[in-house]
Amino acid sequence: MATVVVHSPGIPKQSGAAAADRRLHKWDVWAATMAGLQGLVLLAAPRVAVITIGLWWNSNTVAHNFVHRPFFRSRLANRVFALYLSVLLGIPQSLWRDRHLAHHAGRRSRLRITPRLAVEAALVLSLWAALALFRPAFFFTTYVPGYALGLVLCAIQGHYEHARGVTSHYGRIYNFLALNDGYHAEHHANPSRHWTQLPDRIAGNSHTSGWPAALRWMDSISTGNFILESLERIVLRSPRLQRTVLTSHRRAFHALLSRTAPPERVLIVGGGLFPRSALILRELLPDAHLTLLDAAAANLAAARAFLGSHAVDGIDFVHGAWPAAMTPSARGFDLVVFPLCFRGDRAALYRHPPAAAVLIHDWIWRPRGNSVMVSRILAKRLNLVTPCAP
């Protein structure tokens, strides 16, 4: 039997489900109000950036949520709001709805000419014609560039939401501003679920990223090689830079290793052109056995040459990628070290540490577990996480 909520006299009693629906409806009204404010901002400041960001933001938040769950109980109100969004964004919402629902169904969308689409398209084209006729300078130098850039941002967003499989971003600020748009894997698993309920449906095995989708190309910088390896090569040319880098990293390693039991078996993921972790851990943990794992054979050769024949005694060099190269017999490390240029799901390492102690090099703005600053200049920190750490 449904729970009954008692209201004040004169207001009909409602079931718990109905009351919950009213709460969701209030959030939808708030989202619609934000879209209304967007229109006012655009009128007050008709700039390229306002058009670009507004088109990208609304398409992926208000308009997106409206596609899945119309905001209003009145069919007329929903149709009027769809017309408003069509004019505001320059995108007929019937077309947007068909394309997006086809995306969720895993099929190609087909253009369906309907009376509703015809009306929405006519309004958009009428607006464009009026602007081109009466405000040509604004239309061609402000509106069109802003509109085009907004579409580019939307294309980037759509690409990176699915580039590594459906990927979520759990940043609180972004999800507050973007109506939980970051919970993308959760949305795909529950497309009819209201956007306010997605944080309760976190998919534990989903891909995640520390960047919102529109900025996810930054993963190529934070986990790629083309910039970080260039910096490594610069360090290799300068003994002075090598000493500076080793000093800052040694301090961080020493501080964090003092907070965990001395490891006997250590895995260093990414031997690296400049094997700073191996050099430091060889010094701080003289009795531990080290294993360097790197997907690039050239990097392992460079690390072996840098360490020298004497220093490589007691160090295994394994060519392969994490975790595929780690056979069951090769597991059982007490400490695993991950580099800043780690290619993989960094968030999963924090959620499910693969060893009793895990040291993760990360950017300065991402403290996790026990964290120590490596260098402000390098914008880098070292995080120690364990299976019990938050």
Q: CATH number, domain at 332?
A: 3.40.50.150
Percentage of residues of the chain with pLDDT beyond 70: 84
Tell me what pLDDT residue 69 has. Answer: 92
275 assigned to some structural domain? yes
Last residue of a domain, one of 138, 160, 182: 160
Kindly give the pairing relationship between strand 4-5 and strand 315-319: unpaired
Tell me what pLDDT residue 275 has. Answer: 84
**How many domains would you assign to the chain?**
2
pTM here is 0.58
Kindly give the pairing relationship between strand 14-15 and strand 4-5: antiparallel
| Res 91 pLDDT > 90 | yes
Cα separation of 381 and 156, whole Å? 29
Cβ 242 vs Cβ 236: under 8 Å = yes
Mean per-residue pLDDT for 185-189?
Answer: 91
Percentage of residues of the chain with pLDDT beyond 90: 45
Last residue of a domain, one of 109, 142, 160: 160
Q: Which residues contact 182 (CB under 8 A, 6 or more apart)?
A: 168, 169, 170, 171, 174, 175, 212, 213
Cβ 258 vs Cβ 329: under 8 Å = no
Last residue of a domain, one of 136, 160, 184: 160
Cα separation of 282 and 292, whole Å? 12
Query: For residue range 342-368, what is the model confidence (pLDDT) as tens digits?
Result: 877 788 889 888 888 999 999 888 898
Comparing 313 with 9, which gets the higher pLDDT? 313
Q: Do 19 and 152 fall into the same domain?
A: yes
Mean per-residue pLDDT for 84-113?
Answer: 92
| Res 28 pLDDT > 80 | yes
Q: Do 155 and 234 fall into the same domain?
A: no
By residue range, what is the domain housing residue 337?
Answer: 228-385
| Res 340 pLDDT > 90 | no
Tell me what pLDDT residue 309 has. Answer: 58
Q: Which residues pair with 360 in a beta bridge?
A: 338, 383
168 assigned to some structural domain? no
Q: What's the DSSP call for residue 330? A: G
Q: Do 149 and 14 fall into the same domain?
A: yes
Tell me what pLDDT residue 223 has. Answer: 46
177 assigned to some structural domain? no
Residue with tokens 């938050």: 390
